[in-house]
Chains A and B, each alone.
Chain A
C-alpha cells in the first residue's frame, strides 16, 4: 500500500490513461482526485472503481487550461485532504492521431500549435503553480507530466502535438532544477501509442502492426502499462530521481 494516507491529483482522469492511473493509485491505498472537464458520469464511474479497488476518490470538474478553475479545485483539495503528495498532469486537449490524413507542416497553422501548447504546457503550468504552496509547506511532492515518445522519435510528424510535448519536457526539466532544492521532484512519462483510449481508438491496424514490428517487446501499450512507471515516479521509490523522462513504449525508443 504505497499510497496509503497520500493524496494524488490526476488531471484528465475520467477516461483513458488517466482513469487507469486513478484506479492504480487507489489500489495502492491512495486518496485520488479524479479531475475531468465534462465527462461527469465517466468520472463518477472512475471514483466508484477507485473505491472498489480499496482507495478513496473524489471527482472534481475543472478545465485545467483555466487558472481560476484550477485554483478552485486545489482549494477544495486543500480543504478535503489538506495535502497533495503527487500530481499527474495527464489531461490532454482533444487531438486526432490519423497517420493517413495528418496535417503536414505547411498545412499546420500557428493556431494549431498554440492549441496544443495551451493544452499540454499551459494546463500543466497552471496546475503546478496551484499545487506548489501545498507541496512547499511540507517540503515534498512529486509531479509527473505525461509526454510522448514521439518527442524522441517522431515516427509520424504530428507537428503541433509533439512540439507541445517537447516543450513540456523542457518545462519539466527546468522545474525539476528549481524545485529539487525544495524537495519536489518533477519527471515525465513518455508512452508510445497507448491503445485503446479515445485518442487512439481510430488508429489503423496497419499502423499498429508497423509499430509492433519495431517494438522489442512486440506489442502496443495498454493504459495499465503506463500506471507502473507513473506510480513509481510519484512514490518515494524514485526519491532520488528528478528531471527524467521515462519511456513506456516496449523499447521502441531507447535513450
Chain B
C-alpha cells in the first residue's frame, strides 16, 4: 500500500519527486511517499500560498473560518468518513500506537476543535475576536486590528497523531498563509486535514501547504525559513537552536522545546477506596502515547502519611500499567528506544542494589517499569515508553525545590489534592515555571484553548495595527463635513 503525504496546491503528483518512507507495525506495513520539492517548486508554492491567503483567507471572517474548520473536524470525527477510516487504518502502522489508542486519541484531540471550542480558543486570547476581521475601538482610545502572518511556517516533530493540528489550526484562525513541515515519524495526518479542508472549501485549501524535508536538511529548510515571516518549531533544543540560527532575524520565531511532565499526589488522595482509581489514571497518562508528548508524566511525587503509602501506590500504578499492557499494548520499540528503557531500568536496579529505599517493581521483561524512591530526588527524564519514577516526599511543598532548577523543561503537572492544597501548590508550581496544572487522566489531553507552554498561542502569531487616537482626531479635521 502506498499513501501520498503532503498537500501541495498548484503542484500535480507527476511533477513532484517523491521519497518513500517505510512503516511497519502490528503485522502490517505501509509505504508513505513524501514530497521532495525543488527550490523553485518551494519558492513557487510559498508565493502561491501567500497570495491565496491574501486574496481569500484574509477576506473571510473568523466566524466563517471557524465554521469551515468545524466541518473538517466533524468529517474526521465521523468514523464512517473515508478520511477517518484511512486515519484509523494507517496511523497505527505508521506510529506503532495500538489501534485503540489512535482511535481514542484522535477523537479526543479533534473534539477540542469543534466550533464552540474554537470560539473559546479565540476568546482566550482576544477580548474581542472581531479584531481579526476589522479595526475595533480600543479602550485607551483609537482602534486596533490584529493581522496574522503572511506566511507562517510550522516545523513539527514527533509522532503523536493530531498534535500538529494545534498549531495548524491556530495559524488558520489568525488567517495565516500556512506551510507545515511534517515529521518523518508521522507525515500523514496534517496533509489529510488540509485535503479535507480543500474538499469543503477549495479556495481555503489553497491557502495552506503541507511539505516535507528530511529533518536537519539545512538547504531545504533554509528555502522555507527565508520565505516565512513567522516560524513555529517543535523539537529538542539542539534542533530548535539550529532552526533559530538559520531563521532571518526579521522572522518571529516561536519555539516549543522538550518538556518533562510530572505529577503530585497528596496524602489526602491516598485512602484504600480512592487510591486504586487514581493509580489507574496515573497509569493511563503514562501509557497514552508512550510518553512521547511534551505533557506526559515522567515522574510522580507522592506524599507520605496517607493510608496508602507511596510504596503501596507505586505497586498499584505498576499493576495498572500491567493491565494497560494488555488493553493497549506498547508499540514495538526501535533498538535505540529499547536500549533507552533498558539502560534506565538497569541504572535504577544498580542503585537499588547499592542502597536502601529504592525498589524496582515488576520484571525486566515487562513492557513497563515503575521505580519507587524513598529519598527526595530532583526531576529527571524517565526512560520513556512507560517508565515512571515515583518519589516519596514528606510534604507536597518539598517537591518545589526538586523541580525549580529545571524551569526550561516545565510545562504540565497533574495534581491530586484537596482544593486548598491544589491552589496553594499551584501557586508554588506556577512560580517555579509550570504552565499547566491538570487532573490525572487528562495529562495527554489538554483542554480546548489551553496556552501551550504558557503562551498566548494565537496572540503570539499576530501583529497589532493601531490607529492612534491622534490619527483619528486628525482625520476628523480633514473630513468634508468639518465645520
Contacts and interface: CB of A to CB of B under 8 A. Distances in A.
Interface stretch (B50-58, B316-324, B461-469): B316-324
A218 B211 CA distance: 76
**Chief secondary structure at chain B's binding surface:** helix
Given A181-B276, A183-B322, A137 B316 contact: no
B315 interface: yes
28 contacts: A136-B315, A137-B315, A137-B359, A137-B361, A138-B361, A138-B362, A138-B363, A139-B315, A139-B318, A139-B319, A139-B322, A139-B361, A139-B362, A139-B366, A140-B322, A140-B362, A140-B363, A181-B276, A181-B279, A181-B316, A181-B319, A181-B320, A182-B315, A182-B316, A182-B319, A183-B318, A183-B319, A183-B322
A136 B319 CA distance: 9
Interface residues of A, number: 8
A136 to B, nearest CB: 5
Contacts of B361: 137-139
Contacts of B359: 137
A138 B349 CA distance: 13
Interface in B334-393: 359, 361-363, 366
A175 to B, nearest CB: 15
Contacts of B363: 138, 140
**Chief secondary structure at chain A's binding surface:** helix
Contacts of A136: 315
A169 to B, nearest CB: 23
Contacts of A181: 276, 279, 316, 319-320
A184 B359 CA distance: 18
A180 to B, nearest CB: 9
A213 to B, nearest CB: 45
Interface string B306-320: 000000000110111
Interface of B: 276, 279, 315-316, 318-320, 322, 359, 361-363, 366
A183 B314 CA distance: 13
Interface string A102-145: 00000000000000000000000000000000001111100000
A140 B321 CA distance: 12
Nearest to B319: A183
A139 B360 CA distance: 11
A140 B322 CA distance: 10
Contacts of A182: 315-316, 319
Interface string A183-200: 100000000000000000
- The 10 lowest CB-CB distance pairs between A and B, nearest first, are A183-B319, A139-B318, A139-B362, A139-B319, A182-B319, A136-B315, A182-B315, A181-B319, A181-B276, A183-B322
A138 B364 CA distance: 10
A179 to B, nearest CB: 10
A173 B7 CA distance: 59
A184 B20 CA distance: 47
B268 to A, nearest CB: 20
Contacts of A139: 315, 318-319, 322, 361-362, 366
B39 to A, nearest CB: 56
Contacts of A140: 322, 362-363
Nearest to B372: A137
Nearest to A180: B319
Contacts of B316: 181-182
Nearest to B363: A138
Contacts of B279: 181
A138 B279 CA distance: 17
B364 to A, nearest CB: 10
Contacts of B322: 139-140, 183
Please indicate which of the listed interface residues B316, B318, B322 has the most CB atoms of chain A within 10 Å of its own CB.
Answer: B318
A136 B360 CA distance: 11
A3 B63 CA distance: 65
B369 to A, nearest CB: 11
Contacts of B362: 138-140
Nearest to B360: A137
Nearest to B272: A178
Nearest to B316: A181
Nearest to A184: B319
A182 B320 CA distance: 8
A16 to B, nearest CB: 33
A179 B116 CA distance: 45
A137 B364 CA distance: 12
Contacts of B319: 139, 181-183
A117 to B, nearest CB: 27
Nearest to A183: B319
A140 B363 CA distance: 9
Nearest to A239: B326
Contacts of B318: 139, 183
Contacts of A183: 318-319, 322
A138 B316 CA distance: 11
Contacts of A138: 361-363
Please indicate which of the listed interface residues B319, B322, B362 has the most CB atoms of chain A within 10 Å of its own CB.
Answer: B319
A233 B76 CA distance: 46
A11 B385 CA distance: 40
A181 B320 CA distance: 7
Contacts of B315: 136-137, 139, 182
A165 B96 CA distance: 50
A138 B314 CA distance: 11
A182 B314 CA distance: 10
Nearest to B276: A181
